[in-house]
Amino acid sequence: MADTLYQQRTLGLRVPNLPQSYAPEQLAGAVQQNALKMANEMTSTADEIYNADFEIASRRLISEIFSKNPNNPDALRKGFDAALKGLTKDTSPDQQLELGMRFEMLAMPHISKAAENRIFLNNEKLKEDNLTLIDLSLNDMEHAAADMLSNNAVTAFDASRRVQNSMLTLQKSLNMENEGMPLFSAEKKVRLQRQAKQSLMFDGTLRWLEQQPDKAKAWQAIKDGKKTFKLYDAQGKLETELKPLTDMSLHNFDKIESFVESATAISKEQLQIAAGIEKIGSALNGDTYLDPESAFDKKAIDNYFVQKVMPTLEGMDPIHRGQAISDYVDKVGILPETVKSNIRATIRAGTPEEQVYAAELIRTIGDNSFKALEDIGDKWQTYAMNLSDLTRGGVSAEQAVKMVDMSFDPAEKTVRDKRMKELKNIPFDAEYILNAFFSADAPFKLIGKSAPIIDVPNIKEGIIADTERFFQEAYVYTGDINVAKEMARQRAKSVFGISQVTGQANVVRYPPEKAAAYNIPGLKDQSWIRRQLLEGVKAVKPDLNNEDIYITTDNQTIAEWESGRPTYPILYRTTSGSFDTLRDQKTGVTLRFAPDTAPVVKALNEDIKRKEQTRIKNAAEVKEYQEAMRGFVSEDSPYAAGDSIIGVALGTATGAIKDKIIKASEFAAKKRAETPNPNYEAVFKDLKRGDLD
């Protein structure tokens, strides 16, 4: 190695500057000495570099091998030996020994760490397994503990033995060792043993108390020492007795004390709730009186609503849900706290649609039991009525909320007052507005001889007044005459319409012909509604004249309109000329008209089916005719039908088709005489058109 280094080193040597007086021999000796010196220095430097590279490579390999086997010292040893062999394969024996010692010094800490890791992991696995056993033991004790307090001696003894076995399993797990080292510290053993006893007493006492009907009395028996946790051996000898009063921790004891107090209070409250619900049930049957000033009755009314009424409201549409709530309030005379809270929150901060629903609910309740709304407050009742009026008049929920909010905003009062005064000088022709919309259906004038308006007192005037009110409200809101007129038109169009239900074209509120459920697709004739009305009324009052039977609207009709299935009170003209409401002859209940679409739809479907069958039959006959005539008409010779072809056609045809073939033959002969070279398309069209007849 030194010779090689010498050769490499001397290849780049430059002859030193020697005095010229040197003899050639002296010069050669000096060069040789200088070269040897430099070769030795180079050898020493190469060894240092090799040793440094060896250590770097060793550390890298040791780190890589350890990362793959951090918990296995045996596998680590094998990996290190293989790595050392690879690093020193080209070195001398002396160097291998020296490098091996250096490698071992680097590797030993990693082997020791791997051994520690393996012991730690083994311990952790054993700990995990034993903690699982401990948890199972505690869980088993928890389930058996309550039976230790049983009045049945056999049950109590069996539970005691079960708990005793769980205790032994727990103790064995806590005393487990690994390679002479305990898995659990003494501190943890004591803590877990104490936890087991406390859990036994706490869980057992709590579970046993939950089973007792009189929890206060049962708890007193435990505090008096009459109920304890007794642990027996296999022979039935008492080993240990745990007394909750003295052995249970103060924290656990206080928790059970609080539970008993709370359970006792709840039990009393449940009894009161049950009594209150029973009282409301009696009141609904008319067997008892409810005091609107009684706190007990108010609470009972709310509890009954939550437990009995609310479950029946699920799945109802908003209209019928509101009606059901209103009916309950009407019967009890008091607004349930749950309903009141919901209304208040919704009318103040709900979405526009939710606010409208709350407004309609307030209105519906107020129609039946106005006094029940006292807790809502006059302001919100007024707000709800205004909002309901607007939406029932065709204004969208969002726009209606804005309009009502503006009317309640003090900052807008000056503007509102100014516009209200301006209305006195603004001409508005309600008749013109209505004519503009309904003239296409049935031209009329509201005021005059030919006004097609239902001839019932107050209705005509009400329609005009409503239309004027629509304009006034819109103008106060917008301040623009043209915009207000358009809003009034749209509201009038959504509320009024032409109806034939009275037997002639009349303007009415919410005409049934416009209701979604009664507007049957494909059926233009709506006279079926009139027929059903007459049939229903005649079943109750057969002597009435058809022209004396009418329908009108009320709050229920308005509330039901959005559902698409409104119902209508029925009016009839009496012999004295006045109007009366049609009622059930026995109960006196107001009868309502609800058009039934089922028989109409059934008849319509049957008619459609009949027409379709006829169409199919006709199409089949046409096809049969065309097939029979195919031999008589061709592009080459439209009338060249031989006797054999006619014979075949006549032989396969029957009835009307046979007659048509004969006529076709005669027709073809006639055409051939008239036109020797006929146009095929024209002749074939004649045949298809049925000119043979």
Residues 354 and 213 in one domain: no
State yes or no: pLDDT of 442 exceeds 50: no
- 552, part of any domain: no
For the ranges 57-66, 321-330, 446-455, the lowest mean pLDDT is seen at: 446-455
User: Given pLDDT bands bounded at 50, 70 and 90, which one contains residue 441?
Assistant: very low
Q: How many domains does the chain fold into?
A: 4
- 180, part of any domain: yes
Is residue 426 within 8 Å of 440, Cβ to Cβ? no
Residue of 14 and 201 predicted with greater confidence: 201
CA distance 66 to 76: 6
**pLDDT given for residue 630 in this prediction:** 56
Residues 284 and 385 in one domain: yes
State yes or no: pLDDT of 79 exceeds 60: yes
**pLDDT given for residue 452 in this prediction:** 52
Helix axis angle for 24-68 and 2-10, nearest 10°, is 120
CA distance 276 to 299: 8
User: Among residues 375, 394, 412, which one ends one of the domains?
Assistant: 412
Element (H, E) at 284: helix 250-284
Residue of 24 and 106 predicted with greater confidence: 106
Number of neighbouring beta carbons within 10 Å of residue 272: 14
User: Given pLDDT bands bounded at 50, 70 and 90, which one contains residue 465?
Assistant: confident
Residues 345 and 306 in one domain: yes
Helix axis angle for 459-478 and 430-438, nearest 10°, is 100
For the ranges 131-135, 548-552, 606-610, the lowest mean pLDDT is seen at: 131-135
Residues 143 and 211 in one domain: yes
Residue of 482 and 8 predicted with greater confidence: 482
**pLDDT given for residue 4 in this prediction:** 42
Residue of 228 and 170 predicted with greater confidence: 228
Stretch 605-615: mean pLDDT:
81
- 110, part of any domain: yes
User: Given pLDDT bands bounded at 50, 70 and 90, which one contains residue 535?
Assistant: very high
Radius of gyration of the chain (CA): 53
- 60, part of any domain: no
**pLDDT given for residue 592 in this prediction:** 93
Residues 118 and 239 in one domain: yes
**pLDDT given for residue 268 in this prediction:** 76
- Which residue has tokens 């070195």? 91
- 565, part of any domain: no
Residue of 52 and 89 predicted with greater confidence: 89
Q: What is the span of the domain harbouring residue 1?
A: 1-52
**pLDDT given for residue 438 in this prediction:** 61
- 470, part of any domain: no
Stretch 136-164: mean pLDDT:
86
Element (H, E) at 485: helix 481-495
Residues 392 and 292 in one domain: yes
Residue of 433 and 650 predicted with greater confidence: 433
**pLDDT given for residue 23 in this prediction:** 54
Stretch 650-666: mean pLDDT:
59
User: Given pLDDT bands bounded at 50, 70 and 90, which one contains residue 169?
Assistant: confident
**pLDDT given for residue 17 in this prediction:** 54
**pLDDT given for residue 637 in this prediction:** 44
Q: 287-309 burial by CB neighbour count: b if 16+ within 10 A, else e?
A: eeebeeeeeebbbbbbbbbbeeb
State yes or no: pLDDT of 43 exceeds 70: no
Stretch 622-632: mean pLDDT:
59
- 660, part of any domain: yes
State yes or no: pLDDT of 551 exceeds 60: yes
Q: Give the whole-number percent of the chain exceeding pLDDT 90.
A: 7
Residues 25 and 112 in one domain: no
Residues 284 and 142 in one domain: no
Phi and psi for 338 in degrees, rounded to 5?
A: -60, -45
State yes or no: pLDDT of 68 exceeds 60: yes
The pLDDT tens digits of the residues spanning 398-412 come to: 988 988 888 778 778
With 0-12 CB in 10 A as exposed, 13-18 as middle and 19+ as buried, what is 255? middle
DSSP-based three-state secondary structure for 45 = helix
Q: 439-476 burial by CB neighbour count: b if 16+ within 10 A, else e?
A: eebeebebeeeeebbbebeebbeebbebbbebbbbbbb
**pLDDT given for residue 513 in this prediction:** 86
The pLDDT tens digits of the residues spanning 352-368 come to: 999 999 988 888 887 77
User: Given pLDDT bands bounded at 50, 70 and 90, which one contains residue 644?
Assistant: very low
- 141, part of any domain: yes
Residues 131 and 232 in one domain: yes
Mean pLDDT of the chain: 77
Residues 243 and 350 in one domain: no
For the ranges 107-116, 307-316, 366-375, 530-539, the lowest mean pLDDT is seen at: 366-375
Residues 240 and 319 in one domain: no
DSSP-based three-state secondary structure for 677 = coil
Residue of 297 and 178 predicted with greater confidence: 297
Residues 605 and 684 in one domain: yes
State yes or no: pLDDT of 634 exceeds 50: no
